[in-house]
Amino acid sequence: MESKRPSTTSAQYEGRREMKNLALAAVSALDQNRLEDVLAVLQARVFDRESDQLCDMVEAGPGKWYCSYKPMVELLLREIVDVLKDRGLSRDEQRVRICWAIDASGF
């Protein structure tokens, strides 16, 4: 059951490290593969959105919240990482597949 987000700074949040690691993996992979243009698209179309469009927060107990990406965001970031691991694809093929994934995900 989804609840309103806590307004106090005393709340504990779980899942943030996993979210950060996934975002960093996608950004780092794009950077290392010199796909700065695709990184700019990802930034503008995904990461520049409001957090409630990208993340879910579920109360996990008194003063505890579990944070996660919405399923489509998580799938998109994992797809980016997986595409960039595929050494059988040219940079142009990687670019096309990632841009398609961004479009197909609705962003």
Q: What is the Cα 19 distance to its own chain's centre?
A: 7
pTM score: 0.84
CB-side neighbour CA atoms (13 Å) of 10: 2
Cα–Cα nearest to 21, from 64, 99, 81, 98: 81
HSE-CB for 82 with a 13 A CA cutoff: 8
Q: For residue range 71-98, what is the model confidence (pLDDT) as tens digits?
A: 999 999 999 999 999 999 999 999 999 9
Residues 30-39 have pLDDT tens digits of: 999 999 999 9
